[in-house]
Structures are given as C-alpha cells and as structure tokens.
Amino acid sequence: SSYVAAENRYDDMQYRRCGTSGLMLPAVSLGLWHNFGDLHPGGTQRAVLRRAFDRGVTHFDLANNYGPPYGQAETNFGRIFASDLKPHRDELIISTKAGYDMWPGPCGQGGGSRKYLIASCDQSLKRMGLDYVDIFYSHRFDPDTPLEETMGALDHIVRSGRALYIGISSYDHEQTVRAAAIARDLGTPLLIHQPRYNMFDRWIEDDLLDTCEQEGMGVICFSPLAQGLLTTRYLSGIPRNSRVGMGSRHLRPENLDEQTMGTVRALNEIAMDRDQSLAQLALSWILREERITSVLVGASNVTQLDADIDALSGNQLTDDDLIRIETVLAE
C-alpha cells in the first residue's frame, strides 16, 4: 500500500546538534547493518523504515558492505526510498561509508585510498538511487595510506557534490586529532565520529569524547545495545531469529558466556526497578552524556524499534541508578 507519512512525526522525537555544526540529528538513529540484507523479509524492512520516519527518526545509516550480501542493504534501502520516502528527501539524513573489503582486486579491498573511496561512493549512490548522501564516512583508519590522501578524497567527495558532510568511524584518539586538523585545513571539517560505545565497551570515555568536543565534532554511537546482548533477547536461550541464532559472524554463542549473562541479568533488574526494559536502560545510559549526539540502533522489527525510541520518554537516570550500574559493570 502507498505510504503517507504521519503528520505528527516531529512531535516527540528529541534532536541534538551535531557538534558545533548546523546539523541536528535525532537522539535515536537507525542503522541498516544487519537487518536489511537478504536474510530479513522485505516487508519487515519497509515497515521498520516507515515506522522510524513516522516517529521522527530522520537519520538512516548505511555502508557499502552492509547486507548480506555486500551492497544489498543499500539496494534494499534504495528500493524503499524510491517507493516511500523520496518526497521527504530534504527531511532525511542518509549516510554511507567505505573502508572494508568490497570488490575484487587491490582497488576494492578497503582502506582509505582516493581510488577506493571515490569509486565506492559512486557505487553507493547508484545502489541507493541518490544524487548525494548527507554524510560520507571513512569507515576505518588505514595505516598504509597517507591520511592526507584519505581526507583529500573525502573533501573531494563533498566538493564534487556527492556528499554534504564527512565523518570518520572507529579512528582512535590520535588518528582523530590528525584527521580533524587535515580536514579543517582542506576547508571541509569533520562533522562526526562514529565509534562503538555501550555499557560493555567504554573506550571513548578515555580521550575520544574530549577530543570530539574540542574539534567541534558530533558523536554517534554504534552497537549501543552490544548487538542485542544488552537486551532481554538472550535471557532464556538463543532465539532462532536472533542475530546469534542466525549465525552472525559478529555475535556468536561464545559471547553469551556465564559472566556476561550474569551482568545482563543484574542490569535487567535495575531496568525493571526503573519501569524500563533493559534495552531502554542501555540507551538512556548512553544518552546521559550530552556530548553524544545520537545512539545508532539496529532493529529487526517494528516492536524493537518502538521500544528503543520509547527510551527517550523514560525516567531520568538518578545518581543512585548510575551507581548501581557502575557497581554491576565493575563486578
């Protein structure tokens, strides 16, 4: 059936400024890494994207290699964009990335060469049926390519009209400082950093959050639910339709060890005491940090997406909640 966007779609979503830029991102953004390839039903993909937009989720995050197979998430997104979302292009912030192996031969093996980044950007635009993306990322730091070449390619991607802004993902503190300086000198400042951050992986608290603030960059956190570990998904076994149950290379049965599951159960108690689900607690906990622009969730169905967005209307975290969480995480 044809799609008419909800009229009240901007009523409840919260928006945060992305660093010192002019761009506002929704506090909850949707990533298309795992749930938009060939393993998940197209009807569900369409329903999740429609529901997201209807609730003010204006930011969709992709990459060249999202699938499976590689490229498929962009192709699937492009189809749904064309049928449903195209009239709303100027309300949407669509990002993609290049950095990992993508096509045969040395030019397509990933990294940060000018050749790879520009060709990959063109491929992504074609798959999605877009004239431009809003944010184009270097998906990972490449130690074998001069950073000047990588940042120069991102600058060119903007100047040639392929993207409006640029970002970096998973660059460490020192790489970020260098990249930001080069990009600023080129006249195309880095808009945003996309690191992993969740209760189980807190590396950005050391330096990176401070660095991004100093550089005026926003921060969007990927895998905020630790791919589903920080939810009730695995509390009583491994559901067949879950990321682990479907045989993901990135989350495996051995990640569900007794120690981890003990922590998950203890965190779930805290969530229940707050009248929240564990997923909602995990998201609220990240968004307590004002320098974080957005949490980038994945959702394999509309119910999960709704629950994740509802984290925004949950109770404020108290000092007591934060102490309980620290105590559990330290055990």
Q: Which residues of this chain interact with ligand NDP, rule CB under 6 A?
A: 31-35, 61, 139, 169-170, 194, 222-228, 231, 233, 242-243, 279, 296-300, 304, 307-308
Nearer to ligand NDP, 159 or 252 (CB): 252
Nearer to ligand NDP, 30 or 182 (CB): 30
Nearer to ligand NDP, 307 or 328 (CB): 307
Q: DSSP strand E in the chain: where?
A: 15-17, 24-26, 28-31, 59-61, 93-98, 133-138, 163-169, 190-194, 218-222, 294-297
CB atoms under 10 Å from CB of 82, counted, come to 12
Q: Which residue has the tokens 């925004």?
A: 312
Instruction: Quote the least distance from Cβ 4 to ligand NDP, whole Å.
Output: 26
User: Which of 273, 282, 329, 291 has the alpha carbon at shortest distance from 310?
Assistant: 282
Instruction: Quote the least distance from Cβ 227 to ligand NDP, whole Å.
Output: 4
Nearer to ligand NDP, 159 or 250 (CB): 250
Tell me if 57 sits within 8 A of 30, measured CB to CB.
Answer: yes
Instruction: Quote the least distance from Cβ 143 to ligand NDP, whole Å.
Output: 16
Q: Which residues have C-beta within 8 Å of that of residue 173, sequence separation ≥ 6?
A: 206, 207, 208, 211
Nearer to ligand NDP, 2 or 180 (CB): 180
Tokens of 251: 């989350």
One-letter amino acid for residue 308 of the chain:
D
Q: Is 329 exposed, middle or buried (0-12, 13-18, 19+ CB in 10 A)?
A: middle
Tokens of 85: 């979302």
Calpha distance 34→45 (Å, rounded): 11
User: Which of 223, 324, 225, 319 has the alpha carbon at shortest distance from 266?
Assistant: 324
Q: Which residues have C-beta within 8 Å of that of residue 168, sequence separation ≥ 6?
A: 137, 138, 141, 175, 176, 179, 190, 192, 193, 194
Instruction: Quote the least distance from Cβ 99 to ligand NDP, whole Å.
Output: 8
Nearer to ligand NDP, 51 or 243 (CB): 243
Tell me if 178 sits within 8 A of 147, measured CB to CB.
Answer: yes
Instruction: Quote the least distance from Cβ 133 to ligand NDP, whole Å.
Output: 13
Nearer to ligand NDP, 194 or 211 (CB): 194
Cα 63 to chain centroid distance, Å, stands at 10
Nearer to ligand NDP, 33 or 285 (CB): 33
Instruction: Quote the least distance from Cβ 1 to ligand NDP, whole Å.
Output: 25
Instruction: Quote the least distance from Cβ 145 to ligand NDP, whole Å.
Output: 18
CA angle 109, 222, 187 (to 5 degrees): 70
Instruction: Quote the least distance from Cβ 298 to ligand NDP, whole Å.
Output: 2
